[in-house]
């Protein structure tokens, strides 16, 4: 049985210590879009401040405009033109996994409107399904991340923010609507609608969309089977201004993905226990928030309560038992999350101190288990984390900016074999920025992050190998990461340049150790050290009418000195040096924007753990074009014509599960061939 008294963290002493530590020196430069002209010192420091927060210069931001202009339909299309980001899995949304600097999203803090995402249902499938049209922006921290983002981001964070009524209403408009839809030559169709409005005290948004994709064809004209799916998205948001400075918000978001697919969606060529079966994933999120603008010496406050449920259900309609489930058996996994986030902001002179707390709880369970009891365990797990954080920045003279932050987290975990694991730790970060001139800055950043042992893959709670069914080692310890980064940023006139060198180390990395037996077992252990070093360089010229951008990135992650391979599930993989080239041209008189994107991934030879010879991955070059026309002027009617994979190139993304000598083929999906699309978006 769980012992609550021994698992309740004593928050007050640590809270006082953190606030004492930061209250004196922490002065932050606040970036407020409503401000007028800034003085010279503020302009000198603005290059390192994003949304009131001193994020790393390596933060990648994907705007709603960028998503709309490319008419992106899934995670791969939304993120594939971001430096240092790769999405493997081909054109099947359920198979797609996000890699940041070749590290999988399981090691990132992933949030949607502050709600933790990315519960690991099964290491053979993706875990982050997004509807790009819903998103106001995506922010990606690569490597270290700041304290207020949340707990556990060993290798960075992905923060997604959805739209509200204010993001859709035109100036002076009180109520409006949106109709949208699109067709594709190689990817099916989508359609939906939204209604939104505001009064003096209320604003609302309701949204619904259906996306029907079919089995697509690769660049060789071969159909990639079991990639068809139906995906429904719903969103409702309400904001209520109670009084000046006080507001309540309520949100509901849901996504349903239904298809007949392989149980191992990203290993479609795998022949054992992988017969296609009908599956349905449902995700539902509820949020409630309170915002206080601050007054009379009281801090501004943002309080958010959330609850989320993710269910994945499948039916064995094959000719024999699968994973120990007989023919006709319906089974699956459920992840339930709840929690609270509190962010406070206090003015200190000309700056801002940000501080607060998070409390997140997550439960994982098998749906309709048949192995509960005995050696199979309870088919249920739970974990919670409570953390306090504070952060700020202080100018050191006229040229230097020191940023400091820290969070202290208490982790608690009870696994499906009734083992308890408790840990806690401090996760500090610091950065020093030299503003060499108004256009040029250099930044040195360092962070250390603690992540306690947490939930296993939910699938394994009732489907693991052997009688021990994926047992945790009794001495399982927390993971710790260290990130060090040196960056340069230049921006003047039409020119901009950004570059970074990075070094990451994760100690006591947790993963499976398979033992063939008999009996066969899979034990979750601290298996060693992960290291990754690399660089990112990028530049852009934009004169307001024409633009041209070029970037290159490379990372070489290793586990215990061996290159990462495609079989390092929930950790990462090896990808060749990647070049991104983009060009754009605007025709203001016609309200037309033209764009071209090229992605070049070089060949790579590497030797993963256990291999006796190098593994080779072929490189590829892919071209995408898009033209966006707004015939009624901005923000009314948008017509987007796009061509993805213009030259119908056949390729497997290097982050897709790779070649199997035993099967004589690449087990993962090939990426889609040429896809011609027409998308319409009408606001009225």
pLDDT in tens, 344-399: 999 887 678 999 999 999 999 999 998 887 667 899 999 999 999 999 988 988 89
Q: Percentage of the chain surpassing pLDDT 90? A: 69
Q: Tell me the average pLDDT across 155-163.
A: 93
- Would you kindly state where each structural domain of the chain is located, as residue ranges? 9-683
Of how many residues is the chain composed? 684
List CB contacts of 296: < 8 A, sequence separation 6 or more.
none
List CB contacts of 474: < 8 A, sequence separation 6 or more.
419
Of the listed ranges 3-12, 55-64, 488-497, the least confidently predicted one is 3-12
pLDDT at 48 over 70: no
Q: How confident is the model at residue 117 (pLDDT cuts 50, 70, 90)?
A: confident
Instruction: Measure the N-to-C terminal CA separation of the chain; round to a whole number of Å.
Output: 58
Q: Where are the beta strands (DSSP E) in 150-299?
A: 156-162, 175-184, 188-198, 202-213, 229-243, 246-261, 277-292
Taking the C-alpha atoms of residue 441 and residue 632, their distance in angstroms, rounded to an integer, is 41
Residue 393's closest CA among 53, 28, 57, 20?
A: 28
23: phi then psi, degrees, rounded to nearest 5 = -65, -35
Dump pLDDT digits (tens) for 164-199. Answer: 999 999 888 999 999 999 999 998 999 999 999 999
pLDDT at 267 over 90: no
Host H or E run for residue 269? none
List CB contacts of 562: < 8 A, sequence separation 6 or more.
607, 608, 609, 610
Taking the C-alpha atoms of residue 116 and residue 140, their distance in angstroms, rounded to an integer, is 14
What is residue 139's DSSP assignment? E
Q: CA angle 153-579-568, nearest 5°?
A: 45
Dump pLDDT digits (tens) for 469-518. Answer: 688 999 999 999 999 999 999 999 999 999 999 999 999 999 988 887 77
Query: Considering the chain, what is the average pLDDT of its residues?
Result: 87
Considering the domain 9-683 in this protein, what is its CATH number? Answer: 2.40.170.20
Of the listed ranges 28-32, 614-618, 649-653, the least confidently predicted one is 28-32
Dump pLDDT digits (tens) for 406-444. Answer: 999 999 999 999 999 999 999 999 999 999 999 999 999
Which tokens in the block code for residue 508? 């006591």
102/126: higher pLDDT: 102
SS3 content of the chain, % helix, strand, coil (to 5): 10, 55, 35
Q: Tell me the average pLDDT across 529-534.
A: 96
Q: How confident is the model at residue 18 (pLDDT cuts 50, 70, 90)?
A: very low
pTM value is 0.88
* Ramachandran area for residue 370 (φ above 0: left; ψ -120 to 50: alpha; else beta): alpha
Q: Percentage of the chain surpassing pLDDT 70? A: 89
Residue 71: the pLDDT is 85
Dump pLDDT digits (tens) for 609-628. Answer: 888 889 899 999 999 999 99
pLDDT at 37 over 60: no
Q: CA 259, 263, 266, 271: dihedral to nearest 10 degrees?
A: -120
Q: Please give the radius of gyration of the chain, using alpha carbons only, rounded to the nearest integer.
A: 25
pLDDT at 94 over 50: yes
pLDDT at 519 over 80: no
């Amino acid at each position: 049985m769980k012992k609550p008294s021994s698992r309740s963290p004593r928050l007050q002493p640590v809270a006082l210590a953190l606030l004492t530590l930061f209250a004196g020196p922490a002065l932050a430069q606040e970036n407020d879009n409503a401000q007028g002209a800034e003085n010279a010192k503020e302009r000198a420091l603005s290059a390192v401040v994003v949304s009131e927060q001193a994020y790393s210069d390596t933060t990648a931001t994907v705007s709603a405009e960028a998503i709309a202009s490319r008419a992106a339909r899934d995670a791969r299309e939304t993120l594939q033109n971001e430096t240092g980001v790769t999405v493997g899995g081909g054109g099947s949304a359920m198979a797609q996994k996000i890699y940041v600097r070749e590290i999988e999203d399981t090691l990132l803090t992933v949030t949607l409107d502050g709600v933790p995402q990315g519960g690991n249902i099964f290491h053979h499938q993706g875990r982050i399904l997004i509807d790009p049209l819903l998103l106001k922006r995506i922010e990606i921290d690569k490597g270290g991340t700041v304290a207020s983002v949340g707990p556990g981001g060993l290798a960075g964070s992905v923060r997604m923010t959805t739209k509200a009524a204010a993001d859709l209403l035109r100036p002076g408009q009180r109520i409006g609507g949106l109709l949208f839809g699109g067709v594709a030559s190689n990817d099916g169709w989508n359609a939906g609608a939204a209604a939104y409005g505001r009064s003096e005290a209320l604003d609302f948004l309701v949204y619904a969309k259906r996306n029907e994709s079919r089995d697509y064809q690769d660049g060789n004209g071969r159909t990639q089977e079991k990639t068809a799916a139906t995906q429904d998205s719903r969103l409702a948001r309400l904001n209520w201004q109670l009084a000046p400075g006080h507001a309540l918000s309520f949100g509901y978001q849901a996504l349903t993905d239904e298809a007949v697919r392989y149980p191992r969606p990203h290993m479609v060529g795998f022949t054992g226990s992988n017969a296609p079966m009908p599956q349905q994933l449902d995700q539902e999120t509820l949020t409630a928030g309170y915002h206080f603008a601050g007054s009379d010496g009281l801090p501004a406050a943002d309080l958010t309560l959330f609850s989320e449920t993710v269910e994945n259900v499948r039916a064995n309609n094959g000719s024999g038992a699968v994973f120990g489930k007989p023919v006709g058996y319906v089974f699956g996994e459920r992840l339930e999350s709840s929690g609270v986030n509190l962010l406070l902001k206090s003015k200190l002179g000309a700056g801002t101190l940000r501080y607060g707390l998070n409390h997140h709880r997550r439960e994982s369970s098998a749906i309709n288990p048949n192995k509960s009891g005995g050696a199979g365990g309870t088919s249920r797990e739970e974990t919670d984390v409570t953390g306090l954080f504070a952060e700020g920045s202080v100018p050191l003279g006229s040229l230097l900016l020191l940023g400091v932050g820290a969070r202290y987290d208490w982790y608690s975990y009870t696994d499906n074999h009734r083992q308890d694991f408790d840990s806690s730790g401090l996760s500090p970060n610091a950065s020093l920025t030299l503003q060499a001139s108004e256009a040029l800055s250099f930044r040195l950043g360092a962070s250390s992050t603690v992540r306690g042992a947490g939930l296993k893959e939910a699938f394994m709670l009732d489907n693991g190998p052997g009688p021990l069914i994926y047992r945790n080692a009794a001495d399982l310890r927390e993971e710790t990461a260290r990130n060090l980064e040196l960056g340069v940023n230049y921006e003047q006139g039409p020119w901009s340049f950004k570059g970074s060198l990075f070094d990451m180390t994760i100690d006591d990395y947790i993963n499976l150790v398979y033992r063939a037996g008999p009996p066969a077992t899979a034990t979750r252990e601290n298996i060693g050290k992960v290291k990754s070093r690399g660089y990112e360089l990028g530049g852009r010229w934009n004169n307001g009418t024409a633009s041209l951008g070029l970037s290159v990135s490379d990372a070489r992650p290793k586990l215990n000195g061996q290159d990462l391979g495609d079989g390092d599930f929930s950790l990462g993989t090896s990808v060749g040096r990647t070049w991104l080239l983009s060009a754009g041209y605007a025709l203001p008189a016609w309200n037309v924007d033209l764009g071209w994107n090229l992605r070049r991934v070089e060949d790579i030879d590497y030797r993963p753990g256990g291999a006796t010879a190098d593994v080779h991955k072929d490189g590829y070059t892919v071209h995408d074009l898009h033209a966006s026309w707004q015939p009624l002027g901005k923000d009314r009617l948008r017509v987007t014509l796009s061509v993805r994979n213009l030259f119908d190139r056949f390729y497997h993304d290097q982050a897709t599960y790779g070649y199997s000598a035993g099967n004589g083929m690449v087990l993962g999906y090939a990426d889609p061939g040429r896809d011609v699309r027409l998308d319409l978006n009408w606001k009225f």
